[in-house]
Structure 1
């Protein structure tokens, strides 16, 4: 069975979750500077944390942890005029408090001329009544106005009116708390509307029960001269209930009824949550992952037939040669790891990565995966203006999810964030309650990408670099506003073992499971609260050392948002400050912090700056890679390429540890000599990295463009090339690549040398590798020698050439040499 969300409230109007009306024993009224705060146990739904101030406005905070909206605030205003003059609540007011019959009562008594105005707030579980009594001389003209509204309302409430009770029943358009607003008898006007302006238009009509199209604002007013008793009594009462369609037993923001029966969006899209594995008794979080195509894919290099034997075809081959071949999709195994991690902590994580991976979600229901319409390839996903990043993340959520955002969160994977110096090397960016971006193109391997997805998704779910939002966190943030950039919040707290902490983003695929007690200096100590990190961190970095109490991450994830459960405007949202969480550490700094736990591990990327393509007929084809030592210690790795009909080549590459920032990454060229089985337009090449323990630490397959022109075709291309409409550098590059194919005899000696099995030394990196060698001493020629060094070198080269030619003849004849003995 599926239910349209707009019909849920009407269907379930009689089935409500009754809130406790008896004040729990631990209810309390606490004196604070602004007045009195009333605290109640809200586990079954109650007004809790209500601050009854002296002024005209009191915010009534209602909470029900097992409901879709969770929290709701009703602002209640009381205005009184005596003899035409407004009453000033800040003057001549005394306050008392008491508990009466289990209810919490706060009373303000204000003197205004000859009149006494008494306002009594009675807070009892899920009900609050504000009674206003004016006492004065008979015949005095008095006006009392009670106005209330539901804060942050976006989608609105509708209302019905009960004339006998003078009561409005407010029903949310989307699943949320229902409210009965009841005015005392004798009102001159009573109305509900969508705005205070609309309410104002009804005050001159002297009518009761006016119901507007929406009902987010309510008002009742009394206007009369005091009778012989010299007394006017007025009241407004708020009763909150949580209907069954808003019940959320597991607190994940999704109504139980959605998880039990599914529902249908207004455009007809079926959200079959039960089939997808949703459980109303266990939190469910849905994450859709979309990614950009690689530049190689975006330029059409993977969907072509054989490169045309023409100038335009050769130029297309040249374009594919230099295109970035790194892809941004995740690995299905790492997504399973994420789901298992959440499952171990009592949460069902459902990932939709399109055809790549989506457990229990039918293919026709999947929306994850590459999306070239919304996410075309771009080296930088964002502009250079950080002020635009929040809007970009919000727009992605709208474009990729639409109404499905009632259930799904979304993350985007791509190249880099932007060319802005602060973000060019950052691993990602997240917007609380919206979406996130993971910059795989910043050099992240699969493990680092997984840690980054968890980190950035943690931001979406309400976590910061120092965990959940707490008053302590806000106090520290305010204190450190003048600290240097990158230190204006608590970060790099060694004791806080969470992927949200930069120290562990790449090394600990987990969130904190226990509360963290950390630091050594009080917030009020007037000390600078960053010091060098402990030695075991092995990082020349500053760590936060202020005393901190950080709650466990897993216990404080915020599943509700402006979208989840379609409870816009009612949910208790983060404060109004900008919610983009900026990352202050580069990918290198994050990897360095994790390097001790990644010894003997390596990463690899294609070095497309050096070009990666194959020209059949050339003897010097090679695959150019960039190898990175992920560990703290130096290590020698072996890189192996597999291609064609089982061919392979291996090279060793020694690398310093990550503390050597310039040299822990080196470039390596792997020669591709035997091209049997290699045809255009592309061929797969698997690249594998093993360590000295013969453990695979990296394996990935890449598509490499192939130009398999015949000699005649190569000559034809070169003849057309001068007239081609292309940059001269590109034409020169094409000519350089195809000349040996068009004139193979010009490189016969090279072909002969290429047939050998000798392993060449690795190609040097663009950034020179610093190697420490012993002193080199030049040996002088022996006295009396009549042979020069140049002559000796010539003889050696001649012999080497003859040997190479002999070896080439032997190889071309099947590698057999029959000798007469």
Structure 2
């Protein structure tokens, strides 16, 4: 994993759990079947339709040969050549030839058993296909063919056993032909399918068995744009098995354009997780972090725009804070996670992320990816992200060294890229054709450690080695690859249809959610306004303290945070500093009062220079306020001129009060308060003259 240095940053390598899928480009239908034949009795059949969410089909074909009731086995030295096996069995006096051919979505099986003995013999061939799945399968028989498949969202296997004496489908190996008839269908299941041929065969003659398997994508599994979401879901929505309705058609999904749905969740601050607003007296609250782990709305907008430029719709659920999904009322993203200092302490990152997908998405993982933003992954580990390659989950570590919003934005795109089948050296489908390096100089992509924070995009053209090394290769700890390479363009080779997407966990069709569009639009405006106020604090005087010249008093300020994020702030009045923590405007903890001790020396209007600074030293408020001061009682003596001016004396520290609760965080112990007063020379002269006139009956 790459460390995030203070000057140069890079993201952590993803954890590959699931690989698969195909590019999202203009394409023709691709249907491929494959056979792996062993020399004994088995053959592994696989099939995949790229325009389907059914994934890879797998079955095992067994060939069993009986001679006079005894099994014929291939000799130990028998070798399979391509898709054919041929051998002599001297013990059973037969010659056997097995041949399997593929043509698109069709597999042809031919078995010939020749009697090499001198007498007529009873020969039998069983061809038994076992579909490798944990889904329930049902079978039907019509027009001499079996059709076997799941209820929806998969492949139908059509089997023909021409010339067979018995044939059938059943839930177990031997149930297939137990009825000793043609076209037998067991109502309890159809995982196994068999044809049986037998006859009395004379010397030199042969018994031939032939089977044809045709794989067909079910209508409910078709995926025209290869985004992992069935066309029917995108046209009609989907109702999951747990009852959750996902009206994708109302949310902007299109069966003819790739759609990516992403749910973003992030941590609450440590301060909020500890309950410090409710119990500010806790010792640990004094130094608890007030970090916001929320990506900005601008970052989300820029991510959406980057994908839209490639005709891919990125739909984001970030809770009430952000969503670009139309008619989307019930939201699941946002600030839902408790603070953890080290997110992967005592756990395996891959397992934690899989757990996140299951916990945060549940069956919705058939549609959504899950991204979580939090703090450091482990002690002394300043890597900034980890992801499941070709799966649905990733984590971004927004720790103290990630200081720019662009770093967070680019890391989200980087880790999502791992979900979409990209690695630090290009698309994973080419992993055996490209160098295993994280630093390929000419590969301009956010996936490349060299450019993760300087290039906000996936590559759109082939990267070819050659030319001078870029200056990025001169950074400390960077080892740029100097050999030859050709890296295909990222955008042309995304694997959007990851393993979880489109899983058969629901049925097509979902009633549209009733959404108060105006309320959502109003909420969106309020959130946008609050975010624009981040970093600003409003201050007003709520209690002027009825100040009297020459006497110590207290002025009460009220601080209001109109921004979205909480923060710790220093309130500075003269030489007095008070620390307060203010929640975001939507938390109910965004207001606090601060009592400022003052020592006014003269009547009139006393200025208060107030400054509020964030923990990072950024000014959130600065202004000169004013409070009235009434005159103090005049002494009996008329000898006022020449009297010593009363000096301000130290006062206790100020007090910050969280409003409206009466349980408040204690102020930081700082310097004593200093009175702020206007010059009083002229005022004293006026008062002295008035006293003299009164004493001599002049007024």
Say which is worse superposed, 137-146 or 667-676, in terms of deviation: 667-676
Alpha-carbon distance in 1 for matches of 2:445, 2:368: 24
Partner of 1:810: 678
Distance in 2 (alpha carbons) for counterparts of 1:363 and 1:675: 46
Q: Partner residue of 1:354?
A: 319
RMSD: 4.2
Distance 1:460 1:429, change over 3 A: same
1:233 is aligned, of 201, 204, 208, to 208
3-state SS of paired residue (1:429):
strand
Deviation at 1:561, TM superposition (A): 2.7
Match of 1:285 among 257, 260, 268: 260
Distance 1:215-1:328 versus aligned 2 partners, 3 A rule: farther
**What pairs up with 1:486-565 in 2 under 5 angstroms?**
489-518=436-465, 534-540=470-476, 541-565=478-502
Q: Normalized against structure 2, the TM-score is what?
A: 0.67
Asked whether the equivalents of residues 177 and 243 of structure 1 are also in contact (C-alpha less than 8 Å), the reply is yes
Corresponding residue for 1:401? 361
Shift of 1:400: 0.8
Q: What whole-Å deviation, never above 9, does each CA across 1:705-733 have from its counterpart, x for those lacking one?
A: 982399xx99xx9xxxxxxxxxxxxxxx9
Unaligned runs of 5+ in 2: 1-26, 506-534, 536-566, 582-592, 595-607, 627-653, 687-699
Aligned to 1:160: 140
The verdict on how the C-alpha distance between 1:203 and 1:268 changes in structure 2, with shifts beyond 3 A counting, is same
Q: 2-side partners of 1:738 and 1:292: how far apart?
A: 30
Looking at CA atoms only, which structure, 1 or 2, has the larger radius of gyration?
A: 2
Match in the other structure for 2:87: 110
1:88 to 70, 74, 79: 74
Instruction: Select 2:57's aligned residue among 48, 72, 75.
Output: 72
User: What does 1:273-352 align with in structure 2 at a 5 Å threshold?
Assistant: 273-302=248-277, 304=278, 315-316=281-282, 319-352=284-317
CA gap of 1:121–1:497, structure 2 versus 1, over 3 A, is same
**Aligned CA distance change for structure 1 residues 361 and 319 (closer, same or farther; 3 Å):** farther
Superposition deviation, residue 154 in structure 1: 4.0
Contact 1:353–1:369 (Cα < 8 Å) also in 2:
yes
Alignment correspondent of 1:460: 419
Q: CA 1:150 to 1:503, structure 2 compared with 1: closer, same or farther past 3 Å?
A: farther
Report the CA distance between 1:135 and its aligned residue.
Answer: 1.2
Q: 2:173 aligns with which of 199, 202, 208?
A: 199
C-alpha contact (below 8 Å) 2:251/2:325 kept by paired residues: yes
1:21-60 correspondence to structure 2 within 5 Å: 43-48=28-33, 50=35, 56-60=41-45
C-alpha displacement at 1:619, in angstroms? Answer: 4.0
Q: Is the 8 A contact 1:322 1:612 kept in 2?
A: no
Q: Secondary structure of 2:232's partner?
A: helix
1:441 paired with 2:390, answer no
Residue 621 of structure 1 aligns with which residue?
577
What SS does structure 1 have at the residue aligned with 2:319? coil
What is the aligned residue count? 539
1:268-299: CA deviation from partner (whole Å, max 9, x where unpaired):
22211111111111111111111121112223
The DSSP-based 3-state class of the residue aligned with 1:341 is: helix
Ranked by relative contact order (alpha carbons within 8 Å, sequence separation 6 or more), the top structure is 2
Contact 1:533 1:539 in 2 (8 A): no
Give, in whole Å, the separation in 2 of the partners of 1:117 and 1:816.
124
Pair 1:149–1:675, CA change in 2 (3 A):
farther
Shift of 1:813: 10
Is the 1:619–1:673 Cα contact (8 Å) retained in structure 2? no
Following superposition, the deviation at residue 410 of structure 1 comes to 0.9
Question: Which position in structure 2 is the counterpart of 1:377?
Answer: 339
**Residue 469 of structure 1: aligned partner:** 428
Instruction: Provide the C-alpha distance between the structure 1 equivalents of 2:263 and 2:61, rounded to a whole number of angstroms.
Output: 40
Answer whether contact 2:577 2:670 (CA < 8 A) is retained. no
SS in 1 for 2:364: helix
Take 1:412 and 1:813, find their aligned partners in 2: how far apart are those partners? 64
Gaps of 5+ in 1: 1-41, 97-105, 305-312, 478-488, 521-531, 569-602, 604-610, 626-642, 652-665, 678-704, 718-732, 741-746, 753-807
Q: Report the Cα offset of residue 182 of structure 1.
A: 2.2
Residue pair 1:519, 1:544 contacting (<8 A) in 2 also: no
The CA distance in 1 between the partners of 2:400 and 2:569, in whole Å, is: 23
Q: Measure how far apart 1:363 and its partner are.
A: 4.8
| TM-score, with structure 1 as normaliser | 0.58
Structure 1 residue runs of 4+, over 6 Å off? 92-96, 615-618, 622-625, 643-646, 669-677, 811-818
Does the CA-based 8 Å contact 1:616-1:708 persist in structure 2? no
Residues 40 and 73, structure 2, Cα contact 8 Å, conserved in 1: no
- Displacement, 1:150? 3.6
Whole-angstrom distance in 2 between the partners of 1:185 and 1:815: 122
SS at match of 1:455: helix
* Structure 1 contact 81–87 (Cα < 8 Å) conserved: no
Q: For the residues of structure 1 that align with 2:280 and 2:625, how far apart are their CA atoms?
A: 22
Contact 1:380 1:418 in 2 (8 A): yes
Q: Give the Å deviation of 1:457.
A: 0.8
Offset of residue 49 of structure 1:
5.1
Cα separation, partners in 2 of 1:297 and 1:64, compared to 1, 3 Å:
same
Deviation at 1:560, TM superposition (A): 2.0
